Structure 1
């Protein structure tokens, strides 16, 4: 067991940090206030060769792994972006890249993966539904056979980055739930154009993650061509779980970066701020101990996240590890960001100090992309052998 980073890892770390610091905190504050997509930043990530780190070299990627992707995301988020940037990696290298590279046709790989790596093509994913939520097996979006293709009807909610996307990975039933031998059967994945007749969407006004819009999406007899099927018809559930468990690693990396950034901002403020005499407030144990505690928690999360990423790269099961890392990361990041606000006192509430944005954005990940409660359900069943209670 070797915990040392290789020279390649160090180069990736330095590259990601350099890209992140080129834009920095003020860039993200301005984007957040304008509710604007960070197009320039994503383009810079692609130009640096970071977007396709885990995708095959023959399609424009670097042929590396999830460990390297986790390193890249954490450094980019720690440099100023905060947790939200991880969502762009979810949309593109995960929902687009993993889905296509593992389950797409050769034609899809040749046509789309190079454009994903270069930033010419961006992706979104349509899974969550208003009446299903975490219980995805209850989804009602239905793709009915129409000649050699399908016609899709239904609705999705909380779909990220759709207005900027070229393609959306849509999860839909292709056999009615009541007609399947088991609930996980009869689900299919499709990669379709966002700009397509019958597909419409409307924005959701929300608390944070303002640089990536969230939308309600409506499908009204949307035509799906046969070549847009990802994987095998009616057997998409296992492929979907593979993609979603990978998403946990990406989320955790973003939260680690946000937590590190919050500690840095809090420490910088504490070393500069003086009250009740000449000593800076960083000398008070009442401020030191909570920050030290959160640093320790984040370090433990990193080890579990690297383990999950390593298991993924080795082709071994990684669901419990990726979920456990995400569970503790979301709690630790939220807590340390709030502690950073506390260190700053009233100034922590001011936008110019940046931590209020980190706080708003990180709060999402206590219940997304999977809630704490559903993670605990998973661990109780998969690791403790307890009966399913829902």
Structure 2
């Protein structure tokens, strides 16, 4: 039973290989799978099952993806094939009807396995992204959009941020206007930035303004509209942003001019997109926080292992309190963040207002993960910059 009290139709199907019980697979899974007694039975089942998939994608796989800027297609295909993309989607559309709490357990475990954000970012949008469609979409839209996403046939990206508009979402400048020659079509014009996975996505969830802000007569949040539509590359240019890290998963700037989007792809009512996007973003922030916690624990695990193995002057460096104390502090910070993330996910599943908690856990988990990764690099000394120890990828 999940925290919603809804019994899932079934756990996602997984290949026979993912359930192998060979000693080597179990040992590798156990290395990063500490017991978490506060989890529900459903969360534990998810955590155990997904870890057995993750062991097939070791550190060397993720290093290769990052070094060669290579999309982790083998990983995403396995996750899709085994049914995990529908973990919190309704059963009637092919999902498993589990909650955000189970999705957080899944994504934290993936990140904690060593894949980090290169792993989670490749499937992140498919897990949470269509929450606005689930809540605000028509029945026809749900049946048209959800099954292909759950099956992995569609890959979605998410476009809200603009070059001149970051957190101030109400000031978005990209527009959608009805075509003067075809009222059943909108023409989208503008730019978006920091849109991840757009090099590979075939669908996009995009927020634009349908009513100019200067003529909105009610709240500034009115006049924004949400569309989920094919990413038409004849009308949309996608330029990748060169980044410091997470090279396996692309991030992009989009420019579009007179991009024709069917009115049937409008999610909810025209002008009511802000409320719809907030519903999805609260889930996204909680999910991202869980991924950050997993990343921090992975870095901490590597640091502790190195501290036990690295001997200086005849003594493991982990025997020194100068090494122990920062790592112990990070464990406390990460565990506190994990507990708060889990609570926020449970609140979301219970239908509680989670705006404050979603923002808080994203901040708390992000800070805890950053410090853990930084301390892991420091604990490794000069080797913290060596790719073979896999902490420099976590840091950047």
**Distance apart, 1:196 and its partner CA:** 4.5
Q: What are structure 1's unaligned runs of at least 5 residues?
A: 361-390
2:73 to 36, 39, 43: 39
Partner of 2:246: 209
Partner of 1:66: 100
Instruction: Kindly provide the CA deviation profile for residues 82-120 of structure 1, in whole angstroms up to 9, marking residues without a partner as x.
Output: 13433334311222x312212222222212212212211
SS for the counterpart of 2:85 is coil
**Distance apart, 1:197 and its partner CA:** 3.2
In the alignment, structure 1 residue 280 sits paired with structure 2 residue 316: yes
CA distance in 1, matches of 2:135, 2:118: 25
Partner of 1:24: 58
Q: What are structure 2's unaligned runs of at least 5 residues?
A: 4-36
Query: Normalising to structure 1: TM-score of the pair?
Result: 0.89
**Distance apart, 1:324 and its partner CA:** 1.0
2:365 to 329, 332, 344: 329
Partner of 1:345: 381
Partner of 1:49: 83
CA distance in 2, matches of 1:195, 1:187: 21
CA distance in 2, matches of 1:58, 1:18: 27
Contact 2:62 2:118 in 1 (8 A): no
Which range moves more in the overlay, 129-138 or 101-110? 101-110
SS for the counterpart of 2:87 is coil
Matched residue pairs, number?
357
SS for the counterpart of 2:341 is helix
Instruction: Kindly provide the CA deviation profile for residues 220-255 of structure 1, in whole angstroms up to 9, marking residues without a partner as x.
Output: 100111111011111111111111111111111111
CA distance in 2, matches of 1:68, 1:320: 21
Query: Normalising to structure 2: TM-score of the pair?
Result: 0.87
Contact 1:86 1:253 in 2 (8 A): no
Partner of 1:383: none
Mapping 1:110-189, distance limit 5 Å: 110-146=143-179, 147-181=183-217, 182-189=219-226
Mapping 1:64-103, distance limit 5 Å: 64-95=98-129, 97-103=130-136
CA distance in 1, matches of 2:268, 2:121: 24
In the alignment, structure 1 residue 301 sits paired with structure 2 residue 334: no
Contact 1:188 1:237 in 2 (8 A): yes
Partner of 1:227: 264
CA distance in 2, matches of 1:334, 1:184: 33
Contact 1:83 1:257 in 2 (8 A): no
CA distance in 1, matches of 2:210, 2:175: 6
Partner of 1:269: 306
**Distance apart, 1:10 and its partner CA:** 1.9
